[in-house]
Amino acid sequence: MEMDSSGLTSSSFDKDRHITFLEMMVHTLPADYQEQDINRLTLAYFAISGLDILNALDRIDKDGVVNWVLSLQEHPSNESELENGEFYGFHSSRTSQFQAHDVWVLSRNDSHLASTYCALAILKMVGYDLLSIDSESIVVSMKHLQQPDGSFMPIHTGAEKDLRFIYCAAAICSMLNNWSGMDRKKAKEYILNCQSYDGGFGLVPGSESHGGATYCAVAALRLMGFIKDDSLSKFISSSVINVPALLEWSLERQTIDGGFQGRTNKPSDTCYAFWVGGVLKILGAHHFFDKDALRAFLLSCQTPLHGSSPSLSAVIALLLIVDAVHFNPPKVYTVYVAYMYDEVNRPFIVRLNKWILHQKSLQSDNLIVKHMLYKKLSA
């Protein structure tokens, strides 16, 4: 067992140290993060969700957080403006909310779909009644962001269109309990077109399967009601997605170091442990990966100074999934889909522990799981 100079071992989770780091991130951005002020709301979401998971929301001024978040919402001047094509959600920071003076800037309304997701999630976590906000402006104007193919762009001035923003839209509608802001049938068809031959989902149709994109697809389908929790045990041939292929692809993402990778032939990363682990949790298949190995990998990613990493919410959430930390489950929808592609190409060979697979096969009453594990044992 390794121990750093501060006394933090590679097999221990220092809750207090994580809380201190998260509390610091809520109040003051460290120098290395200050250039990310444009994403201030997202960073606040990471920190506050971490504190929520660790039952430490008493460390922040909830009223102050509510007032700050609400001040970032963009409001139409009148009802007719809801049909002008703009999106009336939340700005990502005070920086994007300033009145534009540059003649080349066409619009000062830079409210963003992902920022709106983060804002609503924060308000929900700190106990604010979402019925008290101007939700009508959000859902009515959000319809303008959905494209003819069912995808969403995040801002009305134009941007990339992919699964991340379908997930954000679905989460927004779910939290507001108002689905008038999106065409769920079109969104479902776009998601289904993103499932690849190997079972995973790419960000857009025809792209490589990716852990983050796969989570966005499965979670959005779950929020929209097209799949149910524990889809594995309730699987039938008419399922809207190819569950067996998805299960196989997801289980194969656990690497020899215990972590999860986002794509084939890529190194493992804490964030992908969350994305792929979340998919397995929704499917009801989270009992079929090596939890002890994943726990050890996640704990090894703690830094000695503050016990956390930039993807700290992903680490803490996964520690909950693998029963490494016994706290109450988080009350919010998951970590924001701001994952980054890792361009480091480190080939490796995935080696499966056949004894563990055999034990899991014996313990499973699910025919799909038995079939998948049998295929691995026979490989």
Q: Give the position of tokens 């750093």.
A: 4
Task: Give dist(CA 221, CA 166) in Å, integer.
Answer: 10
3-state secondary structure 300-360: HCCCCCCCCCCCHHHHHHHHHHCCCCCCCCCCCCCCCCCCCCCCCCCCCCCCCCHHHHHHH
pLDDT-above-70 percentage for the chain: 71
Phi, psi of 152 (to 5 degrees): -125, 145
Task: Give dist(CA 317, CA 330) in Å, integer.
Answer: 8
Per-residue pLDDT tens digits for 208-235? 999 999 999 999 999 999 988 766 666 5
Task: With beta carbons less than 8 A apart as the criterion, state whether 246 and 196 touch.
Answer: no
CA-to-CA dists, residue 237 to 63, 68, 251, angstroms: 49, 48, 21
In one letter, which amino acid is 185? K
Instruction: DSSP for 273-300, please give it.
Output: HHHHHHHHHHHT-TTSS-HHHHHHHHHH
Provide the mean pLDDT of the chain.
78
Burial of 341 (C-beta count, 10 Å sphere; 0-12/13-18/19+): exposed
Alpha-carbon dihedral of residues 275, 20, 34, 156, nearest 10 degrees?
40
In one letter, which amino acid is 65? V
Per-residue pLDDT tens digits for 99-145? 555 544 444 678 899 999 999 999 999 999 999 999 999 999 999 99
| Cβ neighbours for 96, distance < 8 A, ≥ 6 positions apart | 38, 110, 112
Q: What is the mean pLDDT of residues 27-41?
A: 80
Per-residue pLDDT tens digits for 345-369? 222 223 223 333 444 444 445 555 5
pLDDT of residue 10: 56
In one letter, which amino acid is 329? P
Task: Give dist(CA 150, CA 308) in Å, integer.
Answer: 37
| Cβ neighbours for 52, distance < 8 A, ≥ 6 positions apart | 125, 330, 331, 332
CA-to-CA dists, residue 22 to 32, 51, 159, angstroms: 15, 7, 31
Task: Give dist(CA 247, CA 16) in Å, integer.
Answer: 36
Q: What's the start-to-end Cα distance of the chain, in Å?
A: 34
Where would I find the beta strands (DSSP E) of 183-299?
none
pLDDT of residue 340: 26
State the pLDDT confidence band at 84, using cuts at 50, 70 and 90.
confident
Q: Give the position of tokens 């490796």.
A: 348
Task: Give dist(CA 36, CA 146) in Å, integer.
Answer: 27
In one letter, which amino acid is 125? M
Task: Give dist(CA 49, CA 329) in Å, integer.
Answer: 11
Tell me if the pTM is above 0.85.
no
Burial of 257 (C-beta count, 10 Å sphere; 0-12/13-18/19+): middle
Per-residue pLDDT tens digits for 158-203? 788 999 999 999 999 999 999 999 999 999 999 999 999 999 999 9
Q: Which residue has the higher pLDDT, 304 or 210?
A: 210
Residue 248: CA count within 13 A, CB half-sphere? 16
Task: Give dist(CA 374, CA 32) in Å, integer.
Answer: 48
Task: Give dist(CA 338, CA 378) in Å, integer.
Answer: 38
